[in-house]
Structure 1
Amino acid sequence: MKLQVSHTTSYSFDPPVASLVQSLRLWPTDYAGQSVATWSVTVEDSAYERGAGFRDGAGDWVETVSMRQVGRATIRVEGEVETRDLSGVVRGLREKVPPTAYLRPSPMTRLDAGLRALAAEACTGVESDLDRAHCLAQSVARAIAYESGTTASGTTAAEALAQGRGVCQDQAHALIAVGRAMGMPGRYVVGYLHSGADGAAHQASHAWAELWVAGLGWVGFDAANGCCPDDRYIRLGSGLDAVAAAPIRGSVSSASEERLDVEVRIREEGQQ
């Protein structure tokens, strides 16, 4: 499938800030599941300097951008990616970090008694890693119902499980946590989704988890949509949690009232 992406992130500051520094993880990487045909990331509405760019240990491209005297800044992403359905299996990604590095806990995915109990119950009598991963994803989807606006960016996996509601970020964090409880490395993935399981178009970026499965390697699981990522998905990058994998991370030099507007449009080639 050939998917065309338009992703605009706009910041407004009142009063303007003296400086804004951002780390951008906005470039999809070629691997067996996707090929990038065209891609551009530009900064508008503010003077800026592009800093260092590097490919991190997970195979993702990262660049820094510095801006001065910022009242408004816009980051615009445009591109086309050809995707292939590999049933969630990630092959051919250039990465140097061993899977065991993703057994480390993070503040967002820290285990508690509830998460450990969920993992144990989901995997009772299940023998293979792949079956365990599917059972864990299904259990997370049942335990944390998708409900927009019920959690915040800082909500942890344990907190989302306790209230029984959350969004894709919370479900991904919980899946990483319960996977780790069963000795399976897990990581948080950000990207784009052309449509959900119901066929409705998504107007925002999306998140899911990848678990390390013996014999297969990294396999993606989207608990929010009850599936493994297929050719509707574009993979941008990964990390231990949503903070580490954030497409845009930044810091400002002074206190200011900030407004953030995000618009994402994904369409198949030829679609109006």
Structure 2
Amino acid sequence: MRIAIDHRTHYRFSEPQARIVQMLRLTPCDTEAQTVVNWHIGVDIDARLRNSFDGYGNAVTMLYAEGPIEALDVTVTGEVLTLEATGVVRGSAEPLHAMLFRRSTPRTQPSVLLAEFADDLGGGDAIARLHALNTALHVRFPCTPDRPDTGISAAEAFAGKTATSRDVAQMFIAASRHIGAPARYVSGYRNDGEAHSAPHAWAEAHVEGLGWVGFDPATGLSPDESYVRVAVGLDATAAASIAGTRVGQGEEELDVDLHVDRLGGEE
């Protein structure tokens, strides 16, 4: 599948900012199932962009800008060729051992209720339990839109009645680690024919003999060729699309316009 992405992030400040430094995890890397045809990150102010990789192997662009800055637009456009891989991730950069992803973070620490939810799914081999967890979370939270990050934890979201794709991905990670499977958060894009106000989120778990396998509790299925995988981390904070600091007073307003379109069939 040939997928085109147009992702625009608009910042407006109530008072001019003296300096802005941002880490942009907005560039996908090639794997066996996805090939980046072209990709461009642009900004509408005088800024320096420096490309590198973070500790997880994600492509990172550092943005440095000096003020006064009243507004900032970050624009991402590109095309990616994808193939169906039944959720199995091969050919990705893996600088860290899978067992690191057994480590909990404040946002992926399971509550008693979430741990019991995972335990109640029963036995079976590792892949069967993970698929059962993926399905069960989708049944519990059938409508999980892509929304900006509110910073809540998996435990807090699980106790509520509604959730976003980010929330259920973190629930899956917390529950997977509870039952003994390394798991990590994935940020990227999904072509579902709708406009979104944030990137899509899902999870990957490490399965002996298979490696990393994707699970999307927002759909109850594994990612297919309609997904573009961008960044991974221990939780949503570690894989955030844009993170950074600003020097200046006043409030910040954020608006995101995101379109993911299919341009053709399988290549």
Q: Which amino acid aligns with 1:232?
A: S
| Aligned residue number for residue 191 of structure 2 | 194
Normalised by the size of structure 1, how large is the TM-score?
0.92
| Aligned residue number for residue 155 of structure 1 | 152
Distance 1:233 1:133 in 2: 20
1:146 Cα deviation after fit: 2.7
Distance 2:185 2:91 in 1: 18
Q: Which amino acid aligns with 2:205?
A: L
Identity of aligned residues (%): 36
SS at 2:224's partner residue?
coil
Distance 1:56 1:205 in 2: 19
1:56 Cα deviation after fit: 2.7
Contact 1:150 1:165 in 2 (8 A): no
What are the superposed Cα offsets for residues 228-258 of structure 1, whole Å, 9 maximum, x if unpaired? 1001000011111111100110111123211
Runs of 5+ consecutive residues of structure 1 not aligned to the other structure: none
What are the superposed Cα offsets for residues 112-141 of structure 1, whole Å, 9 maximum, x if unpaired? 21111011011x1x2211101101111222
| Aligned residue number for residue 222 of structure 2 | 228
Distance 2:148 2:200 in 1: 15
| Aligned residue number for residue 182 of structure 1 | 179
Runs of 5+ consecutive residues of structure 2 not aligned to the other structure: none
What are the superposed Cα offsets for residues 148-200 of structure 1, whole Å, 9 maximum, x if unpaired? 599961211111111232111110000000000011011110001111xxxx4
Distance 1:207 1:183 in 2: 22
Q: What does residue range 128-143 of structure 1 map to in structure 2 within 5 Å? A: 128-143=125-140
How big is the alpha-carbon RMSD for the aligned residues of Structure 1 and Structure 2? Answer: 1.8
CA distance 1:150–1:158, shift in 2 (3 Å): farther
1:267 Cα deviation after fit: 1.2
Q: Which amino acid aligns with 2:117?
A: L
| Aligned residue number for residue 47 of structure 2 | 48
| Aligned residue number for residue 65 of structure 1 | 63
1:147 Cα deviation after fit: 5.1
Normalised by the size of structure 2, how large is the TM-score?
0.93
SS at 1:40's partner residue?
strand
Contact 2:144 2:165 in 1 (8 A): no
Distance 1:201 1:154 in 2: 24
SS at 2:99's partner residue?
helix
**Would you say 1:27 and 2:27 are equivalent positions?**
yes
Distance 2:7 2:148 in 1: 23
Distance 1:149 1:236 in 2: 15
Q: What does residue range 8-27 of structure 1 map to in structure 2 within 5 Å? A: 8-27=8-27
1:202 Cα deviation after fit: 4.2
| Aligned residue number for residue 107 of structure 1 | 106
CA distance 1:76–1:151, shift in 2 (3 Å): closer
Aligned length: 263
Distance 1:149 1:206 in 2: 6
What are the superposed Cα offsets for residues 204-230 of structure 1, whole Å, 9 maximum, x if unpaired? 420001111111111111111121100
Contact 1:87 1:230 in 2 (8 A): yes
Find runs of 4+ consecutive structure 1 residues off by over 4 angstroms.
147-152
**Would you say 1:171 and 2:164 are equivalent positions?**
no
**Would you say 1:81 and 2:80 are equivalent positions?**
yes
